[in-house]
Structure 1
Amino acid sequence: MSHWDVHHLPRADGKTFLVTGGNAGIGYFAAEQLAGTGATVLLGSRDAAKADAAMTSIRSLVPDAKLAHLPLDLSDLSSVKSSVDSLEAGRLDAVVCNAGVLLENQPRRETAEGHELTFATNHLGHFVLVHHLMPLLEAADAGRVVTTGSFVGKSAELDLDDLQSKRDHQPKRTYARSKLAQMLFAFELDRRLRAAGSTVLSVVDHPGGALDSLTPARPAHPAPERRKFPAGLLLQGKEAGAWPAVRAVLDPAVRGGEMYGPRVFGLRGEPRREPVRGKLADTELAARVWAASVGLTGVEVTQ
């Protein structure tokens, strides 16, 4: 595979990309980098003020950026269809399923629909979103679903009888399980898309070890307290954490079912393709997660 230059991205004029959680963190930097390619970038966010601040910040660095806010609350599954219906686009070239929550030091919380909040936001909301976006992705020449997983999700253990963490809720473990479910969904999605003869690709990325304290300041994100040596040798900032997702969206050499992450031990550095192995390659587990997701949401993504 040819060298990928994170600082000289290919042009994407005329294309439209949606980044969920595009107003903050890794999602913000993915939106900023994609905006620099000439594409139209939609920031999926439930907070209009934060989305406006992010767009102002991006335009301070990319003056001709084509940006818009898509009101989107992934924790409210019943609202996702109306958000997609509000899109004024005949096609969508890629969606970056990036938005997520980690409720540290908080008790278990449920959405109005009775789903555990972390699992609903990180996984079920994206499952429903992709279902409703599929006609727009199919209308593109080669649409892509890019799912941002997590390094910690690779080593998580799923309890298929307790996906909602009713019996044993620990915030960080619940988060890791939700990210593993997301990644398994993305790989299963690509298998189903290939079987259906679809032109849409499903690709997984993860940001490695991306810390606020190593992230450059932006107008929408003041400079954080800097972390000293040796964190910078092992980890990276969130602008670099966005590189794998951006490559998964733009690189014409990317194929469905692949995974991209940082080059150095999967924790930092330029994005490269990673082997898919262990639980992530467990097709039976992925199919069971898919079936459970259909049962919890009532939607079937590739129908």
Structure 2
Amino acid sequence: MENFSLESISSQKGKVAIVTGANNGIGFETALALAKKKATVILACRSLAKAQKAMSEILPKVPDADLEILLVDLMSLESVRAFAKEFSKKYDRLDFLIANAGIMMPPFQITKDGFESQFGVNFLAHFVLVKRLFPILKTTLGSRVVMLSSLAHKNAKIDFTNLNAEKNYSTWKVYGQSKLACLIFAYELQRRIEDNGLKLKSLAAHPGFSSTNLGHLLPSVGAKLFAPFASFIGQDAKAGALPILQAALDPSANGGEYFGPSGFKEIKGLPKVVSSSSRSHDLLVASKLWTAAEEMTHEKFEI
């Protein structure tokens, strides 16, 4: 696979993309790039004000951008279902479903459905979103689902006895578990797509270390002190979005591939296909996780 370049990607006019969490950071840069390629971009955000601000920042850069705001709160499965229903009424195709939105290392909290928030938002809400939109995805020629994982997946494992932090809550461990779950789901979805002879693709990507993560990783004072060095350690949101965009747009990308930065330890650099932990390829864990997600969300996801 040659080095990916957005400039080499042809117009995506007529195609429809959903980007969750499109109002800032990597989600914003992903939405902006897709708008530049003439795709219709659904800004799937929780806050109307923040979504409108993102739209107002995209339009001067892409005056003819085809954008629509559809609100979704990933802390609520009712909201996810309502979003999918509204989208399905308005559109008869979905070419790119970018599961970008997520939360990172918050204090312990639960979603409206009683899930630990990181597992609930990062994984379970997107599981339901993909399931609810799958009828449109599988009838759209060449459609792709892109799940966002993280470098944090590499030291993580799925603890089926503690999915909701029933025993204890470690912010980092729970975050890593949620991002490992997203990656396992992407792989398992591709296997089930192939087993059923469907033509769409499921892929995954991670942004490396982005300076936009600082506010989550460090106390506010520490983040301010560390910010000047962020560009040396990681990369900005625009660069962090490139692996996601390659997964979505690269004609040579294959279902089941995982994209990330090509630099040292995948912290930054041009995007490429990267490897993932052995745990992410465990077929028994994948099957068990799929079943657990169905049971927790009360959503039977049959391909």
TM superposition score normalised by structure 2: 0.91
2:94 pairs with 1:92? yes
Could you say which residue in structure 2 is the equivalent of 1:264? 263
- Distance in 2 (alpha carbons) for counterparts of 1:111 and 1:227: 31
| Alpha-carbon distance between aligned partners in 2 of 1:76 and 1:149, rounded to the nearest angstrom | 21
CA distance in 2, matches of 1:156, 1:14: 39
Q: How many residues are matched?
A: 291
- 2:261 counterpart letter in structure 1: P
Q: Note if 1:111 corresponds to 2:111.
A: yes
- 1:11 is aligned to 11
- Which residue in the other structure is 2:48 paired with? 48
Question: 2:241 aligns to what?
Answer: 242
Q: CA deviation at 1:7?
A: 4.8
Greater helix fraction, Structure 1 or Structure 2: 2
Cα deviation 1:117-153 (Å, max 9, x = unaligned): 1211111000000001101111211111100111112
Q: Is the 8 A contact 2:109 2:116 kept in 1?
A: yes
- What one-letter code is carried by the residue in structure 1 that aligns with 2:246? R
2: CA distance, partners of 1:171 / 1:275: 25
Match of 2:176 in 1: 176
User: How far did residue 291 of structure 1 move?
Assistant: 1.2
CA distance in 1, matches of 2:155, 2:10: 34
2:221 corresponds to: none
Unpaired runs of 5+ residues, structure 1, are 215-223
Q: Deviations over 1:250-284 (max 9, x none)?
A: 11111111000001031111110113441122122
Q: Report the Cα distance in structure 2 between the residues aligned to 1:270 and 1:125, rounded to whole angstroms.
A: 30
Distance 2:20 2:213 in 1: 22
Q: How far, CA to CA, are the matches of 1:261 and 1:139 in structure 2? A: 28
Mapped to 2, the partners of 1:301 and 1:251 lie a distance apart of 28
- Conservation of the 8 A alpha-carbon contact between 2:75 and 2:120: yes
Q: How does 1:129-144 map to 2 (within 5 A)?
A: 129-144=129-144
What does residue range 1-303 of structure 1 map to in structure 2 within 5 Å? Answer: 1-87=1-87, 88-104=90-106, 106=107, 108-212=108-212, 227-229=227-229, 231-265=230-264, 266-303=266-303
Amino acid paired to 2:30? A
* Letter paired with 1:102: M
Give the letter for the 2:103 counterpart: V
* Letter matched to residue 187 of structure 1: Y
Paired letter, 1:92: L
In structure 1, what residue type is equivalent to 2:181? A
Amino acid at match of 1:23: N
* Root mean square deviation of aligned Cα: 1.8
Shift of 1:103: 4.2
Three-state SS of the structure 1 residue aligned to 2:292 is: helix
Query: 1:112 deviation in Å?
Result: 2.4
1:226, distance to aligned residue in structure 2 (A): 8.0
| 1:253 alignment partner AA | S
Matched residue type, 1:99: A
Pairwise CA distance, 1:227: 3.0
**What CA distance in whole angstroms lies between the structure 2 residues aligned with 1:226 and 1:103?**
18
